Structure 1
Amino acid sequence: MSKPFDMELFLAGVLTGSHSTRQRHLQQARIIQAEIAERWQRETPWAWQRKHVVWFLEHRMRQHGDATRYYYLLTIRLLALRLKKAWVFNL
């Protein structure tokens, strides 16, 4: 039995800001992870490709407001920074 992926440990090096900001990013990162895992069976960010994140932004965030999409985009930028990927997204 393997241990579940620890998103907090994964993002620890790139999370900055107040406690509430860090908690928001962690919560959003866990939601992103769960959605991608459910749809694409990619359990960890190391297995993600850009298309998985684009799918999340375009399909799962479609019904949300601009402010919510913006905050999720900030979290995705942190994930990309941690993965050392040069992903650029246009909303």
Structure 2
Amino acid sequence: MSKPLDMELFLAGVLSGSYATRQRHLRQARTIQNEIAKRWQRETPWAWKRKHLVWFLEHYLAGRKEATRYFYLLTLRLLAQRLKKSWVFNI
């Protein structure tokens, strides 16, 4: 059995800002990871494709406030940066 991905360690190189901001990004990244794992059985960010993150934005966050969608968008950009992908997301 493999160990679950430590999202804090995964994002350590790209996280910056205050303690509260870093904690928010980590909490949101774990939520993104859990929802993608439930929907597509893709446990780690290395297995994700752009379509998985677009699904999260369009379906999981549907009906959420614009501010919530914006903060998740910032976390998605951090994930893409960490994966060294040039993905662009629109909200």
Q: TM-score range by the shorter chain?
A: over 0.9
Q: In the alignment, which residue of structure 2 is the partner of 1:5?
A: 5
Q: TM-score, normalised by structure 2?
A: 0.99
Q: Deviating runs (4+, > 2 A) in structure 1?
A: none
Residue in structure 2 matched with residue 90 of structure 1 by the alignment: 90
Structure-2 residue corresponding to 1:37: 37
Q: How many residues align?
A: 91
TM-score normalised by the chain length of structure 1: 0.99
CA distance in 1, matches of 2:2, 2:49: 23
- Deviation of 1:2 (Å): 1.2
Shift of 1:90: 1.2
Instruction: Supply the distance in 1 between the matched residues of 2:90 and 2:27 (Cα, whole angstroms).
Output: 22
CA deviation profile, 1:36-73 (whole Å, cap 9, x unmatched): 00000000000000000000000000021000000000
Unaligned runs of 5+ in 1: none
Counterpart secondary structure, 1:77? helix
Q: State the one-letter code of the partner of 2:6.
A: D
What whole-Å deviation, never above 9, does each CA across 1:22-48 have from its counterpart, x for those lacking one? Answer: 000000000000000000000000000
Return the letter of the residue paired with 2:71.
Answer: Y
Structure 2 alignment gaps of length 5 or more: none
Counterpart amino acid of 2:57? L
Identity %: 76
